């Protein structure tokens, strides 16, 4: 049987893999062919990572770590590719973007029943089983057809990308390698600030000139907030966010810092670094001027400037069920950030679950719904929770039901969430 997957991003590639290994003929559509692209993508690669190269924490006592463990019970091509192409990042799973994309494409092309079609899809054939995973940067033509099918307009917000800088241009007489609380060795470059340096940077940042956004009202999702928007919320907001100094020490010193800007590896060679948490909509000259006020980055070479771009997602509670399936058409599924999950691994998960449920639908079986005590199950339920202001959601323990007799110790309590989830999933028929 032929199945279409629209979108060669994270969700689409994982969905294609799950269907391919179950014997389906898969047509994977990706419009980025060298002549067409999006405002954020830079390559034609499948599974290109746009915002960051980090797939978040691998710690078992975190929501992101638990989600990876849950997905491991099924088997994920993209998670396996991430581990194979990982770069040092302390307790996080960060990858070499180019190698990651190549590994994903290699995994997909092992199947003879795959056909990759490099063209824009402008309309959906509702008679063919289809997973729509075209992402938050879905083309205007396809967005209009999705609106036609759903019977309502998509919601819009903006997403932001952080700058990437050349490691050779960083001044290591001021910056230093270290991980927070010494977890992960020398995985991060740290640029410390005293109070005077921080306040100067803060003042220039909140007064810097921003790029003009056209056509859409600005709606910022909390978990991908531009650094200048965060700074505008208060003088100390950044210091309790990405510039938090707690747990960071210069090797061989007990010096304490007022704020610390961290940079994370972009590739295995360590030639390029991402400024952590610095998604931005500042004009390019302003990025150069303001970010050069950070100690150690005075003469930094910016390899890729930060940008903001359109990001769309649907009102899932009105149109989807817990299986990522349209309520109005059992042939159609929506996966990835358009469905209302937020984050790389969450998007991979949605592609996986959509594919498994498409397979079950074709076989006349019940949809696969995970326990509400699992991260996957909680995210599935987020799709159908009716709220007045539906917002994208990522993996976190706060979306799980409370524990019975929770341990007083915070770390033990988090571990209890993980143990409960995995025990329940082990009892499922996957």
Q: Where are the domains of the chain?
A: 2-156+312-426, 164-306
pLDDT tens digits for range 144-170: 899 899 886 655 566 677 899 999 999
Domain covering 164-306 assigned CATH 1.20.120.140 in the classification: no
HEC readout, 185-245:
CCCEEEEEECHHHHHHHHHHHHCCCECCCCCCCCCECHHHCCHHHHHCCCCCCHHHCCCCC
Q: What is the CA radius of gyration of the chain?
A: 22
**Which are the contacts of 358, defined by CB distance < 8 A and separation ≥ 6?**
3, 19, 129, 131, 325, 333
Least confident of 80-84, 138-142, 362-366, 421-425: 138-142
Q: The whole model's pTM is what? A: 0.77
Total residue length of the chain:
430
Judged against a pLDDT cut of 80, whether residue 237 lies above it is answered with: yes
Task: State whether the Cα torsion 17-331-6-137 is positive or negative.
Answer: negative
Helices (H) and strands (E) in the chain, counts: 12, 16
pLDDT at 274 over 80: yes
CA–CA separation, 361 vs 348, rounded Å? 20
- Enter the CATH code of domain 2-156+312-426: 3.50.50.60
Residue 338 pLDDT more than 70? yes
Per DSSP, the three-state class of 272 is strand
């Amino acid at each position: 049987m032929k199945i279409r997957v629209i979108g060669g991003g994270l969700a689409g590639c994982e969905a294609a893999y799950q269907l391919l290994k179950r014997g389906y003929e898969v047509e994977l559509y990706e419009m980025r062919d060298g002549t067409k692209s999006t405002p954020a993508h830079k390559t034609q690669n499948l599974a290109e990572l746009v915002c960051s190269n980090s797939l978040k924490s691998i710690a078992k006592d975190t929501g992101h770590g638990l989600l990876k463990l849950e997905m491991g019970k099924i088997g994920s091509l993209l998670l396996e590719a991430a581990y194979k192409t990982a770069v040092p990042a302390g307790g996080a799973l960060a990858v070499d973007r180019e190698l990651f994309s190549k590994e994903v494409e290699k995994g997909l092309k092992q199947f003879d029943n795959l056909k990759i079609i490099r063209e824009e899809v402008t309309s959906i054939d509702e008679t063919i089983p289809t997973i729509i995973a075209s992402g938050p940067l879905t083309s205007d033509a396809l967005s209009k057809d999705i609106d036609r099918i759903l019977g309502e307009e998509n919601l819009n917000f903006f997403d932001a990308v952080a700058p990437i800088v050349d490691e050779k241009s960083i001044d290591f007489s001021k910056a230093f390698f270290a991980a927070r609380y010494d977890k992960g060795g020398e995985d991060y470059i740290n640029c410390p600030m005293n109070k005077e340096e921080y306040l100067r940077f803060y003042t220039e940042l909140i007064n810097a000139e921003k790029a003009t956004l056209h056509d859409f009202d600005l709606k910022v999702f909390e978990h991908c907030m531009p650094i200048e928007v965060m700074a505008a919320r208060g003088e100390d907001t950044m210091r309790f966010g990405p510039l938090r100094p707690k747990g960071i020490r210069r090797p061989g010193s007990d010096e304490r810092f007022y704020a610390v800007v961290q940079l994370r590896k972009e590739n295995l060679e360590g030639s390029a670094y991402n400024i952590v948490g610095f998604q931005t909509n500042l004009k390019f000259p302003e990025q150069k001027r303001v970010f050069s006020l950070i100690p150690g980055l005075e003469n930094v070479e910016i390899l890729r400037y930060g940008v903001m771009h359109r990001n769309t997602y649907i009102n899932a509670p009105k149109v989807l069920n817990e299986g990522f399936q349209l309520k109005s058409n059992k042939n159609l599924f929506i996966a990835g950030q358009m469905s209302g999950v937020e984050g790389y691994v969450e998007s991979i998960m949605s592609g996986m679950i959509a594919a498994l449920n498409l397979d079950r639908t074709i076989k006349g079986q019940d949809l696969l719904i995970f326990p509400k005590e699992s991260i996957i199950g909680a995210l599935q339920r987020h799709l159908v929770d009716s709220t007045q202001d539906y917002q994208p959601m990522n993996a976190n323990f706060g979306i799980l039901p409370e524990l019975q007799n929770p341990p007083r110790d915070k770390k033990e309590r988090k571990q209890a969430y993980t143990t409960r989830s995995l025990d329940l999933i082990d009892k499922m028929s996957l």
